[in-house]
Chain A
Amino acid sequence: MADHKPELNEVPDGHNYDGIQEYDNPIPGWWSWIFVATIIFTPVYIIWFHAPGMDRNLLAQYDRAYAANLEQQFGEIGELLPDAETVMRFIDDDKWLAVGRATFQTHCVSCHGAAGEGASGVNLTDNVYKNVTNVAQIADVIANGAAGGAMPPWKTKLHPNAVVLTASYVASLRDTNAPGGRQPEGVEIPPWSAE
């Protein structure tokens, strides 16, 4: 076979196995150099990410990202208190209610349904309540659970602000009467008030 470098196509002595021969061509330069580069990359990476004081390891990255996310989410409103006034403050505030809705979509829809119509958990879109008589108690139920654990406590799982904003969102669902809702359970209570 004609080839670019015919001098390389000599099979060394004895390199014949069951009719298979092998050349001894030199190793392509790019192969060697990339290999060397990946080896050199190793200490560079280790020093960059793991040297003491570099603070670039995964958990440090996470801590920074978490802080940034908190800032992004709640930097404007600071720490919220789970009281009636605070819960009511956001009930008509679409911007902040969206945070409550997102939290609800992530953690609550399995039991309460995508629109809060109830499924395994109670209907949140009617006008009657089992464990709540005022709007602040919604936040309390979210944080601490209810119904002997059937409604689990979320205080170890959610940021306190997320609890308050989710309470606002849940409060906003009242009387929306989502279709296909679960039977009403509980008693009728007075309208929400910030008192």
Chain B
Amino acid sequence: MSQALPADAAPAPDEQPAQDDTTNAGLESFTYDDKTPRMFLIAMYVWALVAFLVGLLAAVELPFPSLNGGIEYITFGRIRPLHTNAAIFAFAGNAIFAAIYYSTQRLCKARMWSDALSKLHFWGWQLIIVSAALTLPFGITQGKEYAELEWPIDIAIAVVWAGFFGINFFMTLIKRRERHMYVALWFYIATIVTVAILHIFNNIWVPVFSGTLIKSYPIYAGVQDAMMQWWYGHNAVAFFLTTPFLGLMYYFLPKAAERPVFSYRLSILHFWSLVFIYIWAGPHHLHYTALPEWAQTLGMLFSVMLWMPSWGGMINGLLTLRGAWHKVTTDPILKFFVVGITFYGMSTFEGPLLSIKAVNSLSHYTDWTIGHVHAGALGWNGFLAFGMMYWLAPRLFQTRLYSVKLASLHFWLATLGILVYVISMYVAGITQGLMWRAIEDNGTLSYGTFVETTRAVLPMYWIRIVGGALYMAGAVVGGWNLYKTWASRPDEYEQRVHQAPPLRDQPVPQEDRPEPRMVGVLDMANRADVWSTMWWHRAWERMPVKFTALVIVAVVVASLFELIPTFVIRSNVPTIASVQPYTPLELVGRDIYIAEGCYNCHSQMIRPMVAETKRYGEYSKPGEFVYDHPFQWGSRRIGPDLARVGGRLTHQWHVWHFEKPQEATPGSIMPPYPFLMEKKADYKSIPARVAATMVLHPNDPNFENYPVGQDAVDHARAQATQIHEEFLVQNAGPYVNADGEAVDLTESQAVALIAYLQRLGTDIYADPPVKIEPLPATPDATVTTEADEAPREDDADASALLGQAATHGGGR
């Protein structure tokens, strides 16, 4: 089998019979379960097409914001999470599972431990994906990037991942018939344990129990939630999109190239350094934010240190091809692998570069980040997954690949597509970053209106669409190739029986410490030299439980070093007395903000940079976010920052802007939201939202008089009435919808959302703080005419309470 694709692409050659030095004990016969990897491979491909299609839709919606036709389910804010979740968890996820189920069995000389768990894993995971597709477009989201799925799905993920997949995998390791674990398995181990840890600890929430919604609030708020989220988010990249794909590379690349792996000891060194160092790097997503600077510094420095451990994988991949480069010119599988690994090298150089604070000050919130992640996801993950697919398909379907030419076409379309995509995003990102910070000689912003910077990058958005479309066209060609290959499968798959002695009958090799090689040097130098041969690691590879425990220690210790101080050192988040809880209506409005996915385009984090404070106002302080469950700092500014939007624009402007953003801001690429005025805010669930919020702040004196139950509903209605009355004055009459009908907006989603927006960033200027007070009227409450003056007075006056909306809102 000199080439992977030609006609004789029969099933992989049989296992070598038991090695000569094994005992004479009986051999065990076993078969591999190829049905599960077959199913995962097909699922991978189907979801890849879905993820790309949704991505393409999202990409077209930016320069063409009315594309959604006023349909709320496909606005950018709702489908962008669908795109990212589909790409990561459905496409990459199923690719990982196909790779792991295929290779683990062969590397362990053992069938997966439980066919039932394999089946549960497959169908459970597909069900999770489907449930994502059935919740995200409906605005059911936790509002944290790549962790959007709501709590029932979170639980399902934990069960499927740790319970079905994890147990199945680790039991297979334990029941293996190969003494040592190959490097691919180390990476799989790191993947499985770390993703479980990340997922569980980032998704600790209080569910909101209400019949009308599926909703939860994370127990973490503001700075701490941001820290947890990017500890998770960054390491999802590490342990969902990097380590399993490195494992995949270590199996499928030498298989396809038919060359030995370049360096065993490099694989040891880069594996452990990668696992240990990656975990620290999360805070580089939060440079210049309200996150304490020591954490940002750690995030940056560990990202820089991560450069070589990442490149260790690239070197081992590319140098494995020494002596096989002539094959690369003819074999599309190796072409996919080479370009994929090159993109890995590029992205893992770019990552540390972007994590340097000075570089990040330019790149953050721009399309540079978008270019970077697509270099990783399409260039690295995509190319590796497709390369693997072309290698696996003939073997799993026990036939020949339908067309090598089409595979080559797929490769070239994908390569061209990703280059066009990434380069256009670099240009857009750097342009935007430079325009945002540009300052004139007279000290003012060169591009004071945000929309100027949007207009400047629009051509790049069109070019990006071309790149994405090319990449997707390649994937369609590949899908056709896969389908035709599948269609030519035999009526019945041949089930090969393999034989190997059980582990207990195999001798345990003694890993011997090499003899010191050097003479005339200190004993210590010789010891270090002997240690650096890594002979000791060979013993670890025989012990999956110990190995797993060591991985967990590496990951957990690094995590705790960073996370514990963030939670226990009070000075990290100095409290601000004037920062008060959101009112019930603002809570509802905030949840609408989250449901609509506003954070996908708008940040809420003003960085301490002159160009930024000039544009948006005073930089954000850690203490401003203590009631933000979840934090909504965002990671991208497709639109302007909203951290201090409160009180800057009228209610009337907001309503106008929701309905006709292009009219309110000529050149804006925000989609229209006419449905916010039509849909009623969910008042029924207010008591449940309030109850869940109060559970999160058990001893907070600011909640002492907070209205609960029906009082909270009444309070919300009173605030909404107040806002709507102000709106009527500003609008010189009621809101008139597209059909020419006058609509009372009091209980609309628009008014709840406006209540929240008008509150944003205003608390630090409230002096003394405006405390929320119970609604039931005290005798003083009859004095309603003082509403305008009263709000700043700290009494129990109902009008003062209502005045709060005005103080935070209209900016009275």
Interface status of B427 (Cβ within 8 A of chain A): no
Selected interface stretch from A84-92, A131-139, A145-153, A187-195: A145-153
Interface status of B309 (Cβ within 8 A of chain A): yes
Docked complex Cα distance between A153 and B254 (Å): 67
B448 adjacent to A106 (CB under 8 Å): yes
A-facing residues in B532-573 (Cβ within 8 Å):
none
Chain B residues near A7 (CB, 8 Å)? none
A149 adjacent to B288 (CB under 8 Å): no
B262 adjacent to A45 (CB under 8 Å): no
Output the nearest chain B residue to A25 by Cβ-Cβ distance.
B263
Interface status of B29 (Cβ within 8 A of chain A): no
With contacts A20-B254, A109-B449, A120-B650 known, is A150 near B263, CB below 8 A?
Answer: no
Interface status of A176 (Cβ within 8 A of chain B): no
Selected interface stretch from B63-71, B122-130, B613-621: B613-621
Name the contact of B264 in the complex, choosing from A12, A42, A70 (C-beta under 8 A).
Answer: A12
Name the contact of A23 in the complex, choosing from B15, B251, B263 (C-beta under 8 A).
Answer: B263
Q: Least Cβ distance of B106 to chain A in Å?
A: 4
A152 adjacent to B811 (CB under 8 Å): yes
Residues 52-67 of chain A, each 1 if its beta carbon lies under 8 Å from chain B, else 0: 0000011101100110
A41 adjacent to B650 (CB under 8 Å): no
With contacts A120-B653, A152-B648 known, is A103 near B444, CB below 8 A?
Answer: yes
Residues 293-317 of chain B, each 1 if its beta carbon lies under 8 Å from chain A, else 0: 1101100110011011101100100
Chain A residues near B259 (CB, 8 Å)? 1
Which residue among B260, B296, B653, B812 has the maximum number of chain A CB atoms within 10 Å of its CB?
B260
Residues 162-195 of chain A, each 1 if its beta carbon lies under 8 Å from chain B, else 0: 0000000000000000000000000000000000
What is the interface residue range for chain B against chain A? 35 or more
Chain B residues near A49 (CB, 8 Å)? 297
Residues 246-265 of chain B, each 1 if its beta carbon lies under 8 Å from chain A, else 0: 00001100110001111111
Interface status of A24 (Cβ within 8 A of chain B): yes
Chain B residues near A70 (CB, 8 Å)? 443
Q: Least Cβ distance of B533 to chain A in Å?
A: 9
A18 adjacent to B107 (CB under 8 Å): yes
Q: Least Cβ distance of A176 to chain B in Å?
A: 19
Residues 21-61 of chain A, each 1 if its beta carbon lies under 8 Å from chain B, else 0: 11111111001001100110110011001100000011101
Q: Least Cβ distance of A28 to chain B in Å?
A: 7
Chain B residues near A12 (CB, 8 Å)? 264
Chain A residues near B294 (CB, 8 Å)? 50
Interface status of B702 (Cβ within 8 A of chain A): no
Q: Least Cβ distance of B735 to chain A in Å?
A: 13
With contacts A65-B609, A73-B442, A149-B806 known, is A23 near B509, CB below 8 A?
Answer: no
Output the nearest chain B residue to A23 by Cβ-Cβ distance.
B260
Chain A residues near B301 (CB, 8 Å)? 41-42, 45-46
Docked complex Cα distance between A53 and B250 (Å): 49
Docked complex Cα distance between A35 and B323 (Å): 27
A-facing residues in B439-461 (Cβ within 8 Å):
439-445, 448-449
Chain A residues near B319 (CB, 8 Å)? 25
Which residue among A17, A121, A153 has the maximum number of chain B CB atoms within 10 Å of its CB?
A17
B269 adjacent to A27 (CB under 8 Å): yes
Q: Least Cβ distance of B322 to chain A in Å?
A: 7
Chain B residues near A95 (CB, 8 Å)? 442
Interface status of A130 (Cβ within 8 A of chain B): no
Which residue among A35, A148, A156 has the maximum number of chain B CB atoms within 10 Å of its CB?
A35
With contacts A110-B664, A150-B729, A150-B730 known, is A69 near B262, CB below 8 A?
Answer: no
Interface status of A127 (Cβ within 8 A of chain B): no
Residues 598-614 of chain B, each 1 if its beta carbon lies under 8 Å from chain A, else 0: 00000000001110011
Name the contact of B444 in the complex, choosing from A102, A121, A156 (C-beta under 8 A).
Answer: A102
Chain A residues near B262 (CB, 8 Å)? 22-23, 25
Interface status of B330 (Cβ within 8 A of chain A): no
Residues 150-191 of chain B, each 1 if its beta carbon lies under 8 Å from chain A, else 0: 000000000000000000000000000011101100000000
With contacts A20-B255, A39-B305, A45-B301 known, is A107 near B180, CB below 8 A?
Answer: no
Q: Least Cβ distance of A56 to chain B in Å?
A: 11
Chain B residues near A28 (CB, 8 Å)? 315
Q: Least Cβ distance of A76 to chain B in Å?
A: 10
Interface status of A11 (Cβ within 8 A of chain B): yes
A102 adjacent to B653 (CB under 8 Å): no
Q: Least Cβ distance of B284 to chain A in Å?
A: 13
Docked complex Cα distance between A70 and B613 (Å): 12
Chain B residues near A58 (CB, 8 Å)? 288, 293, 296, 357, 608
Interface status of B273 (Cβ within 8 A of chain A): yes
A156 adjacent to B765 (CB under 8 Å): yes
Output the nearest chain A residue to B183 by Cβ-Cβ distance.
A22
Chain B residues near A148 (CB, 8 Å)? 726, 729, 788, 806, 810, 812
Q: Least Cβ distance of B47 to chain A in Å?
A: 28
Docked complex Cα distance between A27 and B541 (Å): 20
Which residue among B288, B294, B610, B665 has the maximum number of chain A CB atoms within 10 Å of its CB?
B610
Output the nearest chain B residue to A49 by Cβ-Cβ distance.
B297
B322 adjacent to A111 (CB under 8 Å): no
Chain B residues near A9 (CB, 8 Å)? 260
Name the contact of A69 in the complex, choosing from B439, B618, B810 (C-beta under 8 A).
Answer: B439
Interface status of A98 (Cβ within 8 A of chain B): yes
Chain A residues near B304 (CB, 8 Å)? 38, 41-42
With contacts A22-B260, A22-B264, A102-B444 known, is A17 near B297, CB below 8 A?
Answer: no
Chain B residues near A119 (CB, 8 Å)? 664
B445 adjacent to A150 (CB under 8 Å): no
Name the contact of B297 in the complex, choosing from A21, A24, A46, A152 (C-beta under 8 A).
Answer: A46
Name the contact of B448 in the complex, choosing from A74, A102, A145 (C-beta under 8 A).
Answer: A102
Chain A residues near B448 (CB, 8 Å)? 102-103, 105-106
B307 adjacent to A38 (CB under 8 Å): yes
A111 adjacent to B653 (CB under 8 Å): yes
Interface status of B55 (Cβ within 8 A of chain A): no
With contacts A34-B307, A95-B442, A148-B810 known, is A18 near B729, CB below 8 A?
Answer: no
Interface status of A78 (Cβ within 8 A of chain B): no
Docked complex Cα distance between A61 and B613 (Å): 14
Docked complex Cα distance between A39 and B730 (Å): 60
Chain B residues near A153 (CB, 8 Å)? 647, 811
A3 adjacent to B323 (CB under 8 Å): yes
A19 adjacent to B255 (CB under 8 Å): yes
With contacts A106-B449, A106-B614 known, is A34 near B308, CB below 8 A?
Answer: yes
Chain A residues near B180 (CB, 8 Å)? 14, 17
A18 adjacent to B106 (CB under 8 Å): yes
Which residue among A72, A95, A114 has the maximum number of chain B CB atoms within 10 Å of its CB?
A72
Chain A residues near B254 (CB, 8 Å)? 20-22
A26 adjacent to B263 (CB under 8 Å): yes
A-B contacts, 19 of them at CB < 8 A, read A1-B323, A15-B264, A19-B13, A21-B261, A22-B254, A22-B263, A23-B264, A34-B307, A35-B307, A46-B301, A50-B294, A103-B448, A120-B653, A120-B730, A121-B653, A148-B788, A149-B812, A152-B648, A152-B810
Residues of A with Cβ closer than 8 Å to B?
1-3, 9, 11-12, 14-28, 31, 34-35, 38-39, 41-42, 45-46, 49-50, 57-59, 61-62, 65-66, 69-70, 72-74, 95, 98-99, 102-103, 105-107, 109-111, 114, 119-121, 145, 147-150, 152-153, 156-157
